[in-house]
């Protein structure tokens, strides 16, 4: 049987309360009451619209923890990507992330339109909208081989702000 999707991710964070507040306030995750008894310093979150038992686990390791050297002096995870259904939602999150000082970039990857941000511990994540499968053409596929600046207004004009992205559901 093949793997079908990523079910959840677990992050080590300095302050679990601060990180949980960020993911709930900014990305709309909700807390899930499933922390084992006697296991302080862990929070489990579920993404809006998710049917997973949880999508994100946060484990506190304390304020003395240094930044991750992954990508500069060590191997490690670069980022996680969260998917949104519409370009309108991607645009809304762009504003929320910018207001929080968390937005660090955006890119057009042809088949995906992406925002990049950092959480309170500096861990990078992506929020992406996927071009609907029935709208992918040769030009869109070719654009996957380069990274262009994201023009959300242009993309909303091309695909529609409320068009649901990704595979047919």
What are the residue boundaries of the structural domains of the chain, listed by start? 9-60, 80-159
Q: What is the pLDDT along the chain (169 residues), one digit of tens a residue?
A: 788 888 999 999 999 999 999 999 999 999 999 887 877 899 999 999 999 999 999 999 999 999 999 999 999 999 999 999 999 999 999 999 999 999 999 999 999 999 999 999 999 999 999 999 999 988 888 888 889 999 999 999 999 999 999 875 4
HEC per residue, the chain = CCCCCCCCEEEEECCHHHHHHHHHHHHCCEEECCCCCCCCCEEEEECCCCCCCCCEEEEECCCCCCCCCECCCECCCCCEEEECCCHHHHHHHHHHHHHCCCEEEEEECCCEEEEEEECCCCCEEEEEEECCHHHCCHHHHHHCCCCECCCHHHHHHHHCCCCCCCCCC
9-60 and 80-159 share one CATH topology?
A: yes
Q: According to the CATH classification, is domain 80-159 in 3.90.700.10?
A: no
CATH superfamily of 9-60: 2,3-Dihydroxybiphenyl 1,2-Dioxygenase, domain 1 (3.10.180.10)
């Amino acid at each position: 049987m093949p793997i079908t999707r990523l079910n959840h991710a677990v992050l080590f964070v300095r302050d679990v309360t601060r990180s949980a507040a960020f993911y709930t306030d900014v990305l709309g995750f909700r807390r899930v009451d499933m922390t084992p008894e006697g296991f302080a310093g862990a929070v489990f979150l579920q993404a809006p619209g998710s049917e997973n038992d949880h999508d994100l686990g946060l484990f506190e390791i304390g304020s003395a923890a240094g930044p991750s050297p992954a990508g500069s002096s060590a191997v490690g995870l670069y980022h996680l990507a969260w998917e949104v259904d519409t370009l309108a939602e991607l645009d809304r999150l762009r504003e929320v992330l910018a207001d929080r000082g968390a937005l660090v970039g955006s890119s057009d990857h042809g088949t995906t339109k992406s925002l990049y941000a950092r959480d309170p511990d500096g861990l990078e994540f992506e929020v992406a909208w996927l071009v609907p499968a029935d709208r992918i053409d040769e030009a869109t596929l070719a654009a996957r081989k380069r990274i262009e600046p994201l023009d959300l207004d242009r993309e909303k004009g091309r695909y529609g702000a409320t068009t649901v992205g990704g595979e047919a559901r």
